[in-house]
Amino acid sequence: MGLSLVSVTTSASSQLLYSGAATNEEKSSTSNYVAVNHDNTIIAAAFSKEVILFHASNYSIIDTLEFQRDVHDIEFSPNGSLLAITTVGVSVSEFVDSVIIYDVSEKQILPLKERANSVRSSISWTPDNNFLAVANFQNGVNLIEVDTMEVVTEYSNEHQSDVTCIAFSNNGQFVISGDKDGIVNLWNFDGTFSGKSFSLQGEITGCGFNSQDQRISATSIEGDISTWTVTGNLLHEKNVNRAMGLQWSNTLDILYVLEYSNEPRLIYLDGSTFNELSSIYFIHKALDFDLNLLSNGVLSNIYVATDTNHVSNYAQPTPREGFGESGADLDGDNIPDSIDNDDDGDSFLDNWDFNCPEEITDCERNPDVNNIRNINLRINKNTLIIEDTYTFGLSSSAEIRNLTRRAIISDQQVSYEESNLFENAVCKNMDTDNVIQSWRDNLELSVGQVVNGSLECIVISGLSFSGTFDPEGIKFTMRVVFDVIPNATLPIDLAINEQISFSDSSITHLVENHPIFVSIEDNAENNENQIWWKNEGSILLTFSEDEEVAKSLKLYNFVTDKTNLSVIVIIICGLLFVIIRRRNKITIDLDDDDDVEELDYEEDEDVYNKLPVDVNRPEPIISEERYLEHDDDSEELQFIKSEDTPVSRRAFVLDEEEKVPQIRRRSGKMDRNKHGPIMSTKRKRLGGDEQTSSMKPVNVRPVKKGLKTRKVKIDTTEIDDDSISWELD
């Protein structure tokens, strides 16, 4: 599935749309040149070595002309009775058949022929149909009398390269010629040079006079467009992306220029100002073109050589056969079912409409919802999105694929760029304002309205990377986006007053427009869909509210109510007060349980031994007289760790296995020494006497601080001298 997207600008539309193509079905050759006769009845197209004449009304073939060499150019005479053809020539005298005249009414090639240059050049007829101008081998122009096919005048000695463009003035008094170097020369009819010469950048690809013969114009392959007076003054100049030719209106001051680029188009220029009036974009490449202009100067048809085996036609859409006649009309396309070859409007011809369930026998009256026109609507925040999808029939899809494909032999699929070319052309050729306004006028919302609006074109499937005869038709979508004011609040009802058709202003005139399969999308996943027949009048659609959103809105409304908000604040404050009081009570209880208790080691000595005690070696205790008083027995000094503050104290332990056994408080009277009760406890532990008052102090040798000492072990065992051997080893 290919997908691509094109934004549409608001440039003026030419109102001419792709309407069909004449096809060379016998051979897969490319169309290079095209011409149409004066009354728009016959189209001539050059396909490599063939020239085919088609009826302009239905593109049926009138005649086919085959040649031994490639065709260079073709041109109808002003009255349409003759067709001049030039083929690739050679510079030797015996080959004099490169200029050929075909009699249209007799459908035969005239026996007399003449020579022309071996490179591509244009052909120009005099207004009286009597003379024909072609490029010669001497970098000049030959004027040939048609009745005798003899050269009567030569325009030579002013060009230094091959002539590529020739044009007569409307009164027949002047001739202009342009060459590969970008030089344009003005000649008198009698063959004398006027002395007026003009210059552009690059090869001249088009030249001509305006309807009053007051101005001369020329285009170059580099995209230069210029206009001069016949006296030699430059009036206007403009540059586009490669210009392939030009043509003036026969009555209006309008210059038509073919732009050859990634977005080929025909540009309408105001001849007096060179302002761009309008343009028409092509859905394919464009190598050559011709126009049919009405007597009032209005452009009615454009014929384009496409570099495929087609010559395409752009024109105002015409009503289909049977349009407006009376009779039963199921799909509502204003064509009676007795004439309509697609009664149910699903792009399947009635004779080949078998795409329906087995229990249904009359498939031609039961549309396939996947192939009829489909309109999908959805509301996204404050935006209404309408996707209007059309499905082209198999024949139209195959024709469009061939037109958009640039290399018919080596490339059997349509590329993404080629698909994008089609999207661009279709959307830019629409009357965008008309499409948006038509939708806006036919939409009604239960609350609010739609404003603004934009249009985009998308090829959903069937074109990119698709072969010519793929069974799936091209699906093309017009996406229209509106703003909704005031803000769209669901649920909301949307009414479409009537079925809208854009067949008169877009390529959708090639597609069935009725009936319509309508579907909506909303957040509640309430995807409503139905077939909407044209005779049913308006249709009403409801966009439901998402249940999750509805619950959220109810909660929001409850919270934002002032009374409810006050109750919520009071409840929250009460909970906070209870939590704070509870925490304070727990802290007070813990302080009561953490008092320091004296231990009864006599009764719980085993418990004491199990407790982890951090004992540090004490510093020596020295009195003011530098004497140390101590017991006879060695004493170990330990310090009581400072009691934890209530803040850092561990309140309790949840794990019962880690609970510290409860120590009973020692009862009874206890004597204390000057070092406090802990000394008595230590003496008890070390086997000392509790009656510390009977101990006498012992004088010890004072020890200076910082003095290094060495411990000496004294052995009191007596040694017998007789038991020692005094002999040396």
Q: What is the pLDDT of residues 309-364, one digit of tens each?
A: 899 999 998 888 899 899 999 999 999 999 999 999 988 888 888 877 777 778 88
For 76, phi then psi, to 5°, come to: -75, 150
Model confidence pTM above 0.75: no
Q: How many Å apart are CA 251 and CA 212, to the nearest integer?
A: 8
586/609 same-domain check = no
Q: Of 545, 580, 604, which residue sits at a domain end?
A: 545
CATH number for the domain including 188?
Answer: 2.130.10.10
Residue 281 DSSP SS3 = strand
565/678 same-domain check = no
| pLDDT of amino acid 166 | 96
386/501 same-domain check = yes
365/502 same-domain check = yes
Q: How many Å apart are CA 314 and CA 18, to the nearest integer?
A: 4
State the DSSP string of 92-159.
Answer: STT---SEEEEETTTTEE-S--B---SS----EE-TTSSEEEEE-TTSSEEEEETTTTEEEEEE-SS-
The letter for the amino acid at 604 is D
The verdict on residue 230 lying in a domain is: yes
269/378 same-domain check = no
502/606 same-domain check = no
Domain count for the chain, please give it: 4
* Angle, CA of 617, 620 and 623, to the nearest 5°: 150
The verdict on residue 307 lying in a domain is: no
Alpha helices by DSSP H, listed for 178-327, are none
Q: Is the peptide bond before 367 cis (omega within 30 degrees of 0)?
A: no
| pLDDT of amino acid 491 | 86
Tokens standing for residue 716:
């009191």
Q: How many Å apart are CA 672 and CA 175, to the nearest integer?
A: 142
| pLDDT of amino acid 123 | 92
| pLDDT of amino acid 468 | 67
For 607, phi then psi, to 5°, come to: -65, -40
Per-block mean pLDDT, blocks of 10 residues, the chain (729 long) = 38 78 84 94 95 96 93 94 87 68 96 82 92 92 95 94 95 96 96 95 95 95 95 94 93 94 93 94 93 92 92 91 91 92 88 79 87 93 93 90 64 75 90 93 92 93 78 92 87 93 90 94 72 93 68 51 74 84 65 48 48 50 45 44 47 47 50 48 45 47 50 53 51
575/611 same-domain check = no
For residue 496, the enclosing domain spans 350-545
Tokens standing for residue 452:
């603004």
The verdict on residue 225 lying in a domain is: yes
Q: Of 281, 313, 335, which residue sits at a domain end?
A: 281
410/530 same-domain check = yes
The verdict on residue 14 lying in a domain is: no
CB proximity list for 218: less than 8 A, separation 6 or greater: 165, 176, 178, 184, 198, 200, 204, 206, 207, 225, 226, 246
Find out whether 51 and 89 touch, Cβ atoms under 8 Å: no
517/664 same-domain check = no
582/606 same-domain check = no
518/589 same-domain check = no
The verdict on residue 454 lying in a domain is: yes
522/581 same-domain check = no
The verdict on residue 87 lying in a domain is: no
| pLDDT of amino acid 570 | 85
Query: What strand order describes the sheet that includes 492-496?
Result: 443-445, 492-496, 539-543
Q: Of 545, 573, 607, which residue sits at a domain end?
A: 545
| pLDDT of amino acid 133 | 95
The verdict on residue 303 lying in a domain is: no
**What is the per-residue pLDDT across 565-599, written as a single tens digit (0 to 9) for each?**
777 888 888 888 788 877 776 655 555 554 444 44
The verdict on residue 711 lying in a domain is: yes
Q: How many Å apart are CA 37 and CA 82, to the nearest integer?
A: 9
The letter for the amino acid at 411 is D
